[in-house]
A and B are shown apart, each in its own frame.
Chain A
Amino acid sequence: MRNIFTIAQRELVSYFTSPMAYVITVFFLFFTGLIFTFSIYQPGAQAEMRGLLGSMVFLTLMVAPFATMSLLAQERATGTLELLLTKPVRDVEVVLGKYFGALAFYISMLVLTLPYPLILSKYGDLDWGATWVGYLGLLLAAAAFLAIGVFASSLTRSQMASAGICLGVFLFIWLIGWVSYLVGGEGSTLADIAKNISVFEVFGDFEKGILDSKNVVYFVSLCIVSLFLAVRVLEMRRQV
């Protein structure tokens, strides 16, 4: 537990000593700000976070590969991984430490978007319940994306390859929802499956303020499976 904290802390500090963290933060905040501004100046705009949260989940999907690509791939490429893995630290602690470091960075970025709902609630009648559910959904989606990113980063020593794998997986779980429209909408089993594993569809519920345990389970299991696989990849070198 202490090791996870030590590693996470180092990762978080290292984000802010590299330009990547600032590029990602600026990118994220610039576009959320832009979308927020456009949306409130629309005639008849409602005081709600729905549209913005939807855009934020998409922006998260765009930045997560870049936020996670260096975590393990860089250590593997430069050789620092050998030093880390010969300390009295378990592989799972290394993976979780890296993961929580990335998550802490994301949360610090997300906190900077809180002025948007605050502005909305000052000048309008914002449904805070729905907003918090939306944020929870965003956080869960980000947690899943970052976990997938950690897994992608464990696979290769090339950061670009890691980001590439990551984006591929994200687009797949984002767009899989379209399958449900292709195969005839409601009713067919295939359409149901596609809908239930599409981030776009699952997040849609959170965005509307609906807290459904099946959606929470979806994101949490994505996290667990990805992190488990990342640990397995690290352990592969220990094969006899």
Chain B
Amino acid sequence: MIQVEGLTKYYGPVPAIMDVSFRVEKGEIVAFLGPNGAGKTTTMRILTGFMPATLGTARIAGIDVYEDSIEARRHIGYMPETTTLYTDMRVHQYLRYCGKLQGMRKPELADRLDLVMDQCGLSERRDAIIGTLSLGFRQRVGLAQALIHNPDVLILDEPTVGLDPNQIMEVRQLIKNLAGQHTVMLSTHILPEAQMTCERVIIINHGKIVAEDTPENLTAQIREVETIVVEVATDDGSVPRLLQDIPEVSSVRRLPDESRNAYLVDTRLGTDIRSQIAEFVVGKGWGLLELRPVEMSLEDVFRQLTTEEKGVA
């Protein structure tokens, strides 16, 4: 549904994105993940026909976004990063305006309007002036205007930025509910968001795609060791040295928290020596307080990929 090949964009001599290529299949929800300034918005602006790429091609539903921009835009619902709307219009007026610009006819528009307002939880705010709405509701109007013409592809640039935690959950749920009906591409720099809402993650950094996979595979691929947290009650200083002597243990690090005697114990990938450690600690009489495996989060993956620029794709 979205095909991007070798997309490159220069702002003057500065490249914003370099040779970006990816595909999004029909019905997928894909997160475009990257730190601020990685090139997410630039890529999305090219996809939506707001500006052209320096090199490369992008197709939406098989239509080139540069060669046949107007036609491609009919297939896209776009919500820009800062959802700025006409604050002097009423919700239903604004949505009707957007529908008309999408070439919708009156009867079709009236049906769709009710449906979309219902879907986005706006039915009760139908007559509200947009300027008086809270940020969360404005975000919903932003989503509703992107949905009004029932587009094949939804492009959402940072859909939850600036919202409070409750509103964030609502908007995420809304997006999740769209799965299947629309192909969704959303950008975010918040990892749990990508993990929670999306089936696939494309990580971009410094204008280049550094990884692309499901959140689960990404965390699995990057992991080199199994890590276990071990906390003991009494520590005479010999704990790290003796733990290190267990054959399977590759390294032992103390957690920075001085008030606790907690250590991070790394072992070879695919081994589970928790029972062995438990026996060992109890045998020494140190008093075992905690023993748990550390799950590597997408956050760690992200940090590793974007700070060390280590490619796994």
Contacts and interface: CB of A to CB of B under 8 A. Distances in A.
A62 to B, nearest CB: 24
A10 B51 CA distance: 25
A42 interface: no
Interface string B42-82: 00010011111110000000000000001101101010101
B97 A83 contact: no
B44 to A, nearest CB: 10
Contact of B73 (A7, A10, A86): A86
A92 to B, nearest CB: 12
Nearest to B129: A17
Contacts of B49: 86
A90 B70 contact: yes
Interface residues of A, number: 24
Q: Is the interface of A mostly helix, strand, loop or mixed?
A: helix
B85 A80 contact: yes
Contacts of A240: 52-54
Contact of A83 (B88, B103, B145): B145
Contact of B100 (A6, A90, A238): A6
A87 interface: yes
A79 interface: yes
Nearest to A77: B84
Contacts of B229: none
Interface in A183-240: 237-240
A79 B80 CA distance: 9
Contact of A14 (B73, B86, B102): B86
Contacts of A119: none
Nearest to B49: A86
A82 B86 contact: no
Identify the interface centre among A3, A7, A88, A89: most chain B CB within 10 Å of its CB.
Answer: A88
B127 to A, nearest CB: 14
B contacts with A: majority SS = loop
Interface in B19-55: 45, 48-54
Contacts of A78: 84
B101 A86 contact: no
A10 B76 contact: no
A126 B97 CA distance: 45
B71 A86 contact: no
A88 B74 contact: yes
A133 B205 CA distance: 64
A80 B84 contact: yes
Contacts of A3: 100-101
A202 B82 CA distance: 47
Interface of B: 45, 48-54, 70-71, 73-74, 76, 78, 80, 82, 84-86, 88-89, 97-98, 100-103, 145
Given A6-B97, A88-B102, 15 more contacts: A3-B100, A10-B86, A17-B89, A79-B82, A80-B84, A83-B84, A85-B50, A86-B48, A86-B49, A86-B50, A86-B78, A88-B70, A88-B71, A88-B74, A240-B53
